[in-house]
Amino acid sequence: MEYVYLILALLVGTFAHIIKKVVEVRKTDEDYQLKDWLTKYPYRTALTVLAGAGGFLGLMAAGELSYASAFMAGYMANSLGGVAK
């Protein structure tokens, strides 16, 4: 059951970064929506999912998996997805 909460922390971190980026874009384009972020660049979304899973599994293998590290792995994963422009 603990892994469920850790995965939720990973997802919360990912969505926190997504919301941050959507808010930044909405400053110049008020019609921009969360759906646009997820569907406009599907390869970024795929990279985010893969990076998040890789980070999570890497932290687990290293014995460093905690709620904070899972959250930051999710935040970092979406940040990495944004680099792939």
Residues 1-28: pLDDT tens digits?
A: 889 999 999 999 999 998 998 899 899 9
Q: Can you give the residue range of the structural domain that contains 12? A: 2-83
Task: Please state whether the predicted TM-score (pTM) of the whole model is above 0.85.
Answer: yes
What is the mean predicted confidence (pLDDT) over 44-64?
Answer: 94
Number of independent structural domains in the chain: 1
Burial of 49 (0-12, 13-18, 19+ CB in 10 A): middle
Q: Are 84 and 44 in contact (CB under 8 A)?
A: yes
